[in-house]
Structure 1
Amino acid sequence: MRNALISALVLSSGVAFISLETHADEGQWQPYQMPSIADKLSERGIDIPAKQLADLTQYPMNAVVGLGYCTASFVSPQGLVVTNHHCAYSAIQYNSKTEHNYIADGFLATSKIDEPSAGPNERLYITEAVTDVSDRVTQGLSQEPLARYQEIQSNRKSLIKSCESDDNYRCSVRSFHSGLEYYLIKQLIIRDVRLVYAPPKSVGAFGGDIDNYEYPRHAGDFTFLRAYVGKDGQPAAYSKDNVPFEPKSYLKINADGVKAGDGVFVAGYPGSTSRYRLTSELKFASDWLYPTLASRYQLRIDTIETMGNSNHEIELKYAGTLASMANRMKKYNGLLDGFKATDIAGIKQSREDGFKQWLATDKTYQTYQAKFDQLELLLTKKRVDNQTRYYFENAQSSALLAAANKLYRLSKEKVKPDAEREEGYQERDMKMFKARLKRIDSSFDASVDKALWQQDLQAYIAQEHRVAALDNMLNYVDESVTLSDKLAGLYSLTSLTDKDKRLAWMDAKAGDFETSADPFIRLAVALFDTNMAQEKDKKTLAGQLSQARPDYMKAIIAYYKANDWPVYPDANGTLRITYGMVDGYQSKDALYKQPFTRLEGITAKHTGLAPFNAPQKVLDAIKEQRFGSHKVASVIKDPSTWLCRLFSCYKPEEFNSVPVNFLSSVDTTGGNSGSPVFNGKGDLVGLNFDSTYEAITKDWFFNPTITRAVHVDFRYILWMMDEVDHADNLIAELDLVRN
């Protein structure tokens, strides 16, 4: 059976690659699994004990933190944190004003007193414990789908409540292998996060959308933040009296970096993959979902860019939103291109056919064919439901309507006992609920919100799946009033644009909403029953899938093990480890992409126009070949530091320059942005920030021949800190080592 998946992968250039039986470096492994792949780590030259990597209380795993959407890591005993520039974009945007545009100019706090808040929503999450609670979630569940779904949620909430006896912790119960397993995740929350050092966008996002998912890259995608706590050492909300957090450990930074062929590993919080999904699900994504999403994102991007070009305040407010949309849109297009270039559907169908043949002959799992057929029927219903609801859900995309929907739902949930409330509306959620309402102002402009909402409403009007409650409120039958004028009236009459008035609705009762004259509140009330009915249908289907998916996964895991294929859960936003090696790849016929890029590539790409507009101070340092100074040499904890005084600190002999970005074969996806890249000893050598365009389809299928992650080399970060921005105070905090 080991030869069941020898599939040809044909790129658009006509070059064929063969998927490796060994699956090479595939796997987004849970930390506890590391001892089971200790031999694989050793083969890659990763010497740090697998048992140590499995222990979240030990170095380096206790220095890896989540941002809720990206990954970061502690790099000093004073709570200094490093992540990607694009991960900290909202913090930079939050502090950017017309008089000091940190997005364009960059920011450096030369002392802690100058470090501003990263914003009320910014958090650091330190995972301290991961506990298998599968039996406690799934034991004795009802066979009735909706009741089953509700029982799972009730069991999850009970576990979370017990875990969160200390307000400083945030807990969650995550599903692994599609509900086959559940783990309780306990995380310490740091609530006071501050901006410390960010290069200008022309460094952090050098190449912009043009270079996004491309290689070679020359992006300085890094930013430093700092964690603060109360004087008692406990997490606390922002206060000028707070002090830097002292982490249990912080990463050593290897100033010598890595070279081609070196083993590396990455730890972080990958968001979502679909490698165990069925072929029918991939085809739906390829044929309808991704094209539809990409088209909508492109329309929204064009609108925001047009409006931002004539209004600098809009440009600042929507900078983060625009970057996020552009990234998603390019990813969807990349997935579509990848599906065309490489027959991923055919590969998955081949594997699925092999699985069905195995089912028919395996004595333990022969009866699972009927379960597999039932799963396909449920997925067909899910696809129809998604298409039916898509435009109605988008028709509620206004930031003000979204806030009104949530506020009215909160008034309904608050009359229930806390344990029976929907997740997101419990007492544990109120701080973040309030913070999100506050944060609206920082990325909201009524004219932009109206324009984007109008586009979604026009798409809704043009299709057949209409909802009477929405049609009645918008009164489309009155042809004397245009949609644009109707929406303008809603925005002119609402009070939800006022932060204090918006927050006051958190304490209102349902009756207050139902008698309100505010047009967005009225619309939220009118849509509530329809939204709740659709939510009930979703929960019922989820209850059915909570039986069908785990049964499928039991069989598919057994099939994988029979073929000696790696078994790890799909990414779900929880802490994972992946390993690989520094390596280039053959992207198409006669085109091999080298694993490293150099400073000179910045100069070669520089045009003076965004997104290839490198700062003059960077260009000057490159031209003058200033490749390292005594400042870094003086803090490297190694007796051979005198060499750095004689020769350039960051210029490896094999490059004759400073490395900027590099490639490796580690298995990453969205959420891994900002993840620390370690050498075999566990020293920090880079930050993950992207994938190559050819590798985007790895969310569905891992092809080791062309799958590469893109990292910013820490030698480039040190060079920027030293030679360009003179961040002497931060260099002094770092624990720099040599090979």
Structure 2
Amino acid sequence: MYKYTLFPAALLCSVAAIADEGQWQPYQLPQLQQQLSARGISVPAADLADLSKYPMNAIVSLGYCSASFVSPQGLVVTNHHCAYGAIQQNSTAENNLIANGFLAKTQAEELPAGPSERLYVTELVEDVTAKVSGALTAKLTDLARFEAIENNRKQLIQACESDANYRCNVVSFHHGLQFFLIKQLMIQDVRLVYAPSESVGNFGGDIDNYEYPRHTGDYSFLRGYVGKDGKPAPFAKDNVPYQPKFHLKINASGVKAGDGILLAGYPGQTSRYRLAEEIAFARDWQYPASVTTFSQMIQTIDAFGAKDPALQVRYASVVKGYNNRMKKMQGLLDGFKVTDIHAIKQQQQQELAAWIAADSSRKVHQKALAALQEVVSAEQQYQQQTWYFDNAKRSDLLKAAQDLYRLAQERQKPDAERELGYQQRDLKMWQGRLKRLDTSFAPSVDLALWSQQLAVYLQQKPVLRIKALDDALGLVPGMTAAQISATLQPWYDKTTLGTGAGRLAWLDKTPAEFAASNDPFIKAAVAVYQQQIALEQQQKAIQGALLNTRPAYMQAVIAFNQSKGKPVYPDANSTLRITYGHVDGYPAADGVYKTPFTSVRGMIAKQQPTGVFQLPAKLVQAYQAKQYDGYYYADLGATPALPFNSVPLNFLSSADTTGGNSGSAVMNGKGELIGLNFDSTYESISKDWYFNPAITRAIHVDIRFVLWMMQYVDGAQNLLDEMTIVRD
């Protein structure tokens, strides 16, 4: 269900949308009917706007990735890298499901995905702007504005969550110009059903990440379970599969070059409406600093993993996440060099200023840009001020201690007055995170990572260091990582936070009990608490200023874009969005055109005897034995002069995606599943800031490859039997 007001009218797009750009809120789709029809999309736009209908009711979120129901028994398909945490959770050095893959032949064999795993089904999106910010006055201080908006959000969330089966949130759109209440059914019991081996699901590893041609079978299956009464419930052996209202049909005929597609999921964050100054800051400081930090941590973890397979398994999901983020940021930096997005944004701002100046009725917009630039400068100074301090706390146990102490402080307040994230509604997720650490933490690795970042922290100017932290940890300028490690190693022997039971024991403790503790991590958390709160207040004031200046700027941007007939969609913010496009290749470089499909034939040609390009023998044998009836194609319309002749594996489309879209359902014009989004090409990583229709392409795993693997390679007939598979 969607409830919204037409405020302002410009938030709805012009029919003259450019190319396939746009991460659209479902309610905007009826205004895009012309474009959808031109792409061959036959699903009525009104149905796409209705979250209670097919296909949108089948689209779900994992909280960090996207997914979709594909059977009436709660079976969910997503990416292999999205299910990686669940696979790692159930892996050991002796029974390594990451390396070997996993298939439950019966529901009784399905494995718990982890205490923090959830499936979220969006059922209601309601415009609550008037209730959140409509009554605020210009006289409020920046901090007061932030706190007023937070209090209004909390009240709406509390009222929405009168039914404990739902998770609600109030999310900002257009950077505070609008607020929507999002209500989601929360399925708490999630289980791992089927994952191919890493040599398929992560073929090419980090070498091929963001690259194309790509040959990665990035898919996995989960299942949602509920209590016998049909309502969400924590994990229990006698829970039953959730029965969704709708599940996606799977079209085994797939797509060919030029076909129109829909893509639905939960994109994380884009920065399309940011200032040129923000692009420069990311390019010159933020991204380089992040790449350096991630590189350091990856090297440290890899060194431990090379010596101990158990540690390699334990930190597999962590390293995969770090590698992905580091390569994306490096790709953004490279993208800034290829396309001068900073100059493009400067030109756009100049055009906006000229448009405002051309009409006296637009004077209301004149001060918006200057005011925003001033606040953005303060925000950037804050980020630089706190960067090394935040990195100096990169110990899982110190973080747990800080979080637990903050929770103890917040529990002294009435629940409605606590900070979001520390309320009664959050306790189950707290418990899950604290338990989950048991399978992704090792004292030796944690100490090495922490000592490394502390050494970097100590190299900074005194103004960037925090005395309370230095004193609590016994830090002295000039200490090396080895010296820091020797100082802090005894902490790991003295703490009770090294086990899940030890961490959970602190959930109900009072601030006085924390203050009296001799646990070194707890003592450090107590010591830096006041400084942390002071910095948080500073950040809230900045956010309050942004909540005043960005909406005013966005009103100007939206009005300007509408006057030019350009599409107006909100930046991505992890809420449900729909994009559309078509299957298409792209010109990657001078004289280089990348075709829209890759194949199993190409995958096998790429294999190597060792490393990340190894392949399971059973996959190669099945293909060489020509066991691919129903999935082998001679031509997909991609390269007329060169017949295809293989099983399709990955394909490209012009759909507008970003992080969080991993696992998103890629559908044909009838709303039938034909693939899963899992990556972007390296040339289009910079689309988070600027959408270039000539080269922006998303990479999808072809559903025909998934079905072929299930039928001919991994023997997952039990899962094929419960899905609705159709052919054209």
Amino acid at match of 1:474: L
Please tell me whether residue 50 in structure 1 is matched to residue 45 in structure 2. Answer: yes
What corresponds to 2:201 in structure 1? Answer: 204
The residue correspondences of 1:133-532 to structure 2 (distance < 5 A) are 133-142=128-137, 143-464=140-461, 465-477=464-476, 482-532=483-533
- The alpha-carbon deviation at position 479 of structure 1 amounts to 8.6
Pairing partner for 2:697 from 708, 713, 731:
708
Distance 1:254 1:467 in 2: 58
- The alpha-carbon deviation at position 268 of structure 1 amounts to 0.2
Aligned 8 A contact 1:98 1:313 in 2: yes
Distance 1:581 1:649 in 2: 21
Aligned 8 A contact 2:632 2:646 in 1: yes
What corresponds to 2:13 in structure 1? Answer: none
Give the TM-score of the pair, scaled to structure 1. 0.94
**Cα offsets for 1:66-97 (capped at 9, x unmatched):** 00000000000111100000000000001112
The residue correspondences of 1:125-136 to structure 2 (distance < 5 A) are 125-136=120-131
What corresponds to 1:728 in structure 2? Answer: 717
What corresponds to 2:60 in structure 1? Answer: 65
**Cα offsets for 1:87-131 (capped at 9, x unmatched):** 000000011123321100000001111001111111000000100
What corresponds to 1:691 in structure 2? Answer: 680
- The alpha-carbon deviation at position 369 of structure 1 amounts to 2.1
What corresponds to 1:637 in structure 2? Answer: none
**Cα offsets for 1:612-639 (capped at 9, x unmatched):** 00111111112222113xxxxxxxxxxx
Distance 1:649 1:214 in 2: 25
Aligned 8 A contact 2:459 2:478 in 1: no
SS at match of 1:687: strand
What corresponds to 1:636 in structure 2? Answer: none
Amino acid at match of 1:118: A
**Cα offsets for 1:478-510 (capped at 9, x unmatched):** 999921211112222211102212111111110
Q: In structure 2, do the counterparts of structure 1 residues 540 and 161 end up closer, same or farther at CA, with 3 Å as the change threshold?
A: same
Amino acid at match of 1:724: V
- The alpha-carbon deviation at position 153 of structure 1 amounts to 0.4
Aligned 8 A contact 2:67 2:664 in 1: yes
SS at match of 1:672: coil
Q: In structure 2, do the counterparts of structure 1 residues 577 and 478 end up closer, same or farther at CA, with 3 Å as the change threshold?
A: closer
What corresponds to 2:555 in structure 1? Answer: 554
Once superposed, what is the RMSD of the aligned Cα atoms? 1.2
Pairing partner for 2:19 from 21, 24, 31:
24
Q: In structure 2, do the counterparts of structure 1 residues 478 and 572 end up closer, same or farther at CA, with 3 Å as the change threshold?
A: closer
What corresponds to 2:4 in structure 1? Answer: none
Distance 1:302 1:667 in 2: 33
Aligned 8 A contact 2:631 2:705 in 1: no
- The alpha-carbon deviation at position 650 of structure 1 amounts to 4.2
Amino acid at match of 2:42: D
Q: Which runs of 5+ in 2 are unaligned?
A: 1-15, 637-643
What corresponds to 1:651 in structure 2? Answer: 633
Amino acid at match of 2:288: P
Aligned 8 A contact 2:458 2:477 in 1: no
Amino acid at match of 1:692: T
- The alpha-carbon deviation at position 541 of structure 1 amounts to 1.1
Distance 2:39 2:326 in 1: 35
Distance 1:685 1:441 in 2: 37
**Cα offsets for 1:257-313 (capped at 9, x unmatched):** 000000001000000000000000000000000000011101111111111011111
Amino acid at match of 1:108: L
SS at match of 2:360: coil
- The alpha-carbon deviation at position 22 of structure 1 amounts to 5.5
Distance 1:234 1:118 in 2: 19
Distance 1:474 1:73 in 2: 47
SS at match of 1:265: strand
Distance 2:652 2:490 in 1: 52
Amino acid at match of 2:673: L
Q: In structure 2, do the counterparts of structure 1 residues 651 and 537 end up closer, same or farther at CA, with 3 Å as the change threshold?
A: same
The residue correspondences of 1:537-576 to structure 2 (distance < 5 A) are 537-576=538-577
- The alpha-carbon deviation at position 602 of structure 1 amounts to 1.0
Amino acid at match of 1:27: G
What corresponds to 1:664 in structure 2? Answer: 653
Q: In structure 2, do the counterparts of structure 1 residues 685 and 503 end up closer, same or farther at CA, with 3 Å as the change threshold?
A: same
What corresponds to 2:109 in structure 1? Answer: 114
Distance 1:477 1:210 in 2: 40
Distance 1:95 1:362 in 2: 64
- The alpha-carbon deviation at position 367 of structure 1 amounts to 3.3
Give the TM-score of the pair, scaled to structure 2. 0.95
SS at match of 2:507: helix
SS at match of 1:266: strand
Aligned 8 A contact 2:204 2:613 in 1: yes
Q: In structure 2, do the counterparts of structure 1 residues 223 and 319 end up closer, same or farther at CA, with 3 Å as the change threshold?
A: same
Distance 2:495 2:38 in 1: 63
Distance 1:293 1:656 in 2: 43
Q: Which moved more, 1:482-491 or 1:669-678?
A: 482-491
Aligned 8 A contact 1:650 1:715 in 2: no
The residue correspondences of 1:7-18 to structure 2 (distance < 5 A) are none
Kindly tell me the number of residue pairs found equivalent between the two proteins: 700
The residue correspondences of 1:578-589 to structure 2 (distance < 5 A) are 578-589=579-590
Distance 2:110 2:654 in 1: 36
- The alpha-carbon deviation at position 726 of structure 1 amounts to 0.9
Aligned 8 A contact 1:126 1:189 in 2: yes
- The alpha-carbon deviation at position 365 of structure 1 amounts to 2.3
Amino acid at match of 1:438: K
Distance 1:45 1:676 in 2: 17
What corresponds to 2:670 in structure 1? Answer: 681
Aligned 8 A contact 1:256 1:650 in 2: no
